[in-house]
Amino acid sequence: MFIIAQLYSCFNHLFIFFSLCHDSAIMRHIKNEEVLHTMKITQIRNATNRLVYAGKTFLIDPWLSPSHMFTFADVPGHPYHIPDQVKEHLPMPFYDLPMSTEEILEDVDCVIVTHLHPDHIDISFADGTVGAPLDKAVPILCQNEEDAVVLKKSGFQEITILPKEWMKIGDASIRQVPALHGTYLPCGNAMGVLFEAKDEKTFYLAGDTIWYEEVAATIEKFRPGVIALNACAAETLENGRLIMGDEDVWNVSLAAPDARLYITHMDNVAHASITRHVMRGRLASRGVVNYDMPADGESVVY
């Protein structure tokens, strides 16, 4: 019995030793991951997100107004109509911001506005100026000269039209890529944005677009590790579906099976036809599992 007890004690100590070694290896792995992968995306509301990438903080499509500020019927000239006319009178955004404006704007290095629509940046219907809550001294990136003129009129001091070739912001390289904002007729221009950096996954912000050949080509060429998809299937009578729905997300998942999909632009606009709840069910039925769809205020680290 004494020999058996000694053997048991020996094996027990060996088990503890190897367990500690294993745990230590796991901790080293976690620490290495933290060093190598610092990308963090915080879902603010709708398409508004805070992106920490290569040590810089980007604020994307900053729609920061309180809830229930305007309806489709309030848009000057009433240029857009929703298939369900009752929805034209639903006040947007549906929900308040999940945190204070001060927290959202804290330590922002650069603002990115993919296009000047009122669910992507605050717009004054009185004078057409945009981005009232923003610090006008913070650099801002936009898609074209037309948007740059509006931003300049609105008081922004450092405006850059994002080029279609790489430009550097700190250690990050970013560039503009194509987007198609409507199935029938594009609802104006919009852009996607690509981010690359050493020790970071390539990040593809698809922007307000449907699935089409240029999105497929961007994925094929750049092989992003994380892809943000605006995907509430918003639609108007004039333009058709403006952004992705569950079928588009499924197509992206087939084109990029090794990427992680970040689903955003959900649950805050009247012309949406898919909620987060419905999207989860539809993606489950299509077998799509490689995605994150955070609630407002939640963050995902990649």
Bridge partners of 228, per DSSP, are 205, 262
Q: What pLDDT digit, counting tens, does each position of 258-277 carry?
A: 999 999 999 999 999 999 99
pLDDT at res. 283: 98
The whole-angstrom separation of Cα 31 and Cα 288 is 30
Q: Mean pLDDT throughout 129-142?
A: 98
Extended strands (E) in 208-292: 226-230, 235-236, 240-241, 260-264, 291-292
Q: What pLDDT digit, counting tens, does each position of 71-123 carry?
A: 999 999 999 999 999 999 999 999 999 999 999 999 999 999 999 999 999 99
Q: Mean pLDDT throughout 28-37?
A: 41
Please state, rounded to an integer, the average pLDDT across all residues of the chain. 90
- Cβ-contact 121, 136 below 8 angstroms: no
Q: Mean pLDDT throughout 207-233?
A: 98
Question: HSE-up of 190 (CA within 13 Å, CB side)?
Answer: 25
Dihedral (Cα; 84, 89, 90, 92), 10-degree rounding: 120
The whole-angstrom separation of Cα 116 and Cα 104 is 19
What secondary structure does DSSP assign to 98-109, as a single string?
Answer: SS-HHHHHTT--
The whole-angstrom separation of Cα 105 and Cα 11 is 56
Structure tokens that stand for 158 in this block:
């450092």
Q: Taking 70 as the threshold, does the pLDDT of residue 36 lie above it?
A: no
Q: How far is CA 132 from the centre of its chain?
A: 21
pLDDT at res. 37: 53
Q: Taking 80 as the threshold, does the pLDDT of residue 25 lie above it?
A: no
Domains belonging to the chain, first-starting first, are 39-293 (3.60.15.10)
The whole-angstrom separation of Cα 111 and Cα 120 is 12
Burial class (CB in 10 A: 0-12, 13-18, 19+), 292: middle
pLDDT at res. 178: 98
- Residue showing tokens 């650069």: 110
Q: What pLDDT digit, counting tens, does each position of 53-62 carry?
A: 999 999 999 9
Q: What is the largest CA-CA distance in the chain?
A: 93
pLDDT at res. 38: 86
pLDDT at res. 158: 98
Structure tokens that stand for 24 in this block:
């230590």
Q: How far is CA 286 from the centre of its chain?
A: 22
Give the N- to C-terminal CA distance of the chain in Å, as an integer.
53
**For residue 149, what are the contacts with CB-CB under 8 A and spacing of at least 6?**
none
Higher pLDDT, 20 or 247: 247
Structure tokens that stand for 257 in this block:
């099976």
pLDDT at res. 224: 98
pLDDT at res. 240: 97
pLDDT at res. 23: 39
Q: Taking 90 as the threshold, does the pLDDT of residue 32 lie above it?
A: no
Q: What pLDDT digit, counting tens, does each position of 146-203 carry?
A: 999 999 999 999 999 999 999 999 999 999 999 999 999 999 999 999 999 999 999 9
Structure tokens that stand for 172 in this block:
């990050």
Q: What pLDDT digit, counting tens, does each position of 238-265 carry?
A: 999 999 999 999 999 999 999 999 999 9
The dihedral sign for the CA sequence 146, 147, 152, 157 = negative
Phi-psi sector, 199: left (phi>0), alpha (psi -120 to 50), beta: left
Q: Taking 80 as the threshold, does the pLDDT of residue 41 lie above it?
A: yes
Q: Taking 60 as the threshold, does the pLDDT of residue 33 lie above it?
A: no
Q: Taking 50 as the threshold, does the pLDDT of residue 12 lie above it?
A: no
